[in-house]
Structure 1
Amino acid sequence: MIINERVKGLAEQNERVVKQHFAFFGQGNLPDALELFAEDVDFQSPVTKNPPEEISWAKPRYSKKDVALFFKELSEKIQVKKMEAMFFTCQNDRVIVEGRNGGVVKATGRGYEHDWVMVFTLQDEKICRARHYYDTADIVAAFRD
């Protein structure tokens, strides 16, 4: 029973960290959102082996500094209009989040919206692995005139 309580407590703690990450991001507070990542994080958004050229930010990142560059490159090309984290599922060191976001491609003024799933792995209250799964087709279409 004590082990179950400990596992439940770990899952709840990890969920709080991920929810805080989304809260910081939603407030436009990127520095504090980045502080919740481990120094040597394994980060992929979107997870794809063949990224479309329009989505130049789609490459693996392996440090907190790389993740900051991801957000910089993304924000140079996309204006995020909404980011909704709707459902959280937590077990041990993993937090799975289902959500939806939408934005506008700055070069074309065209909008997009899509559903996504993110899987976070945490260690010592830091995000050490992040995977962001979404269909890139809607964003690619918004890049085209």
Structure 2
Amino acid sequence: MSNAMTVVKDAYAAFGQGDVHALLALIPADIDWRVVGPASLPYPTTCRTRGEVQRYFADLFSAEEITKFEPREFIDAGEHIVVIGFVAATIKATGKSFESEWVHIFTIKDGLVTRWLEFFDTAARP
């Protein structure tokens, strides 16, 4: 397993344990962190600093209860790792649930996540 893949799997392990601080330790002070989707999402869609990523997670967890999160396929392309997965969540404000497959694209440099992009079916989120 490449060092980049180890970093990505460590990030998912931290997320799965709800350990946002361990996940934040895997990113540099400046980052390119984006959810590709509409600006109407109740959490930031572009983050440039570790503090903004921390706010992203706080806003995400206040808006949604994630009931299933499954990274399913890992594609190793050197410093770029692509992960295909699945999420099920409930929107806290409405109680409505949704499911979506997703794709995460990571860039790892010097053992840190320098870029993270998420694509998911935003139309599935009511």
TM-score bracket for the superposition, by shorter chain length = over 0.9
Shift of 1:52: 5.1
Corresponding residue of 2:7: 17
Contact 2:27 2:113 in 1 (8 A): yes
Question: 1 CA distance for matches of 2:112 and 2:48?
Answer: 14
Q: Pick from 47, 51, 63 the counterpart of residue 61 of structure 1.
A: 47
The alignment's TM-score, normalised by the length of structure 2, stands at: 0.95
SS of residue matched to 1:68: helix
5 Å-filtered alignment, 1:28-107, equals 28-45=18-35, 47-48=36-37, 51=38, 53=40, 55-107=41-93
**2 CA distance for matches of 1:28 and 1:52?**
25
* Maintained 8 Å contact 2:4/2:108: yes
Query: Which amino acid is 1:16 matched to?
Result: T
Post-superposition shift, 1:56?
Answer: 2.6
Distance 2:33 2:82 in 1: 14
The secondary structure found in structure 1 opposite 2:21 is: helix
Q: How far does the alpha carbon of each residue in 1:101-140 deviate from its partner, in whole angstroms, 9 at most, with x for none?
A: 111000111111100000000110000001001110111x
Count of matched residue positions in the alignment of Structure 1 and Structure 2: 126
Q: For 2:122 and 2:3, how far apart are their aligned partners in 1?
A: 31
- The one-letter code matched in structure 2 to 1:114 is S
**Greater helix share, structure number:** 1
Deviation of 1:82 (Å): 1.2
Stretches of structure 2 that go unaligned for 5 or more consecutive residues are none
Measured after TM superposition, the shift of residue 30 of structure 1 is 0.9
Where does the alignment leave 5 or more consecutive residues of structure 1 unmatched?
1-10
Deviation at 1:59, TM superposition (A): 2.3
RMSD: 1.2
Q: Which has the higher strand share?
A: 2
Residue pair 2:28, 2:114 contacting (<8 A) in 1 also: yes
Residue 126 (structure 1) aligned with residue 112 (structure 2): yes
| Aligned structure 1 segments of 4 or more residues deviating by more than 2 angstroms | none
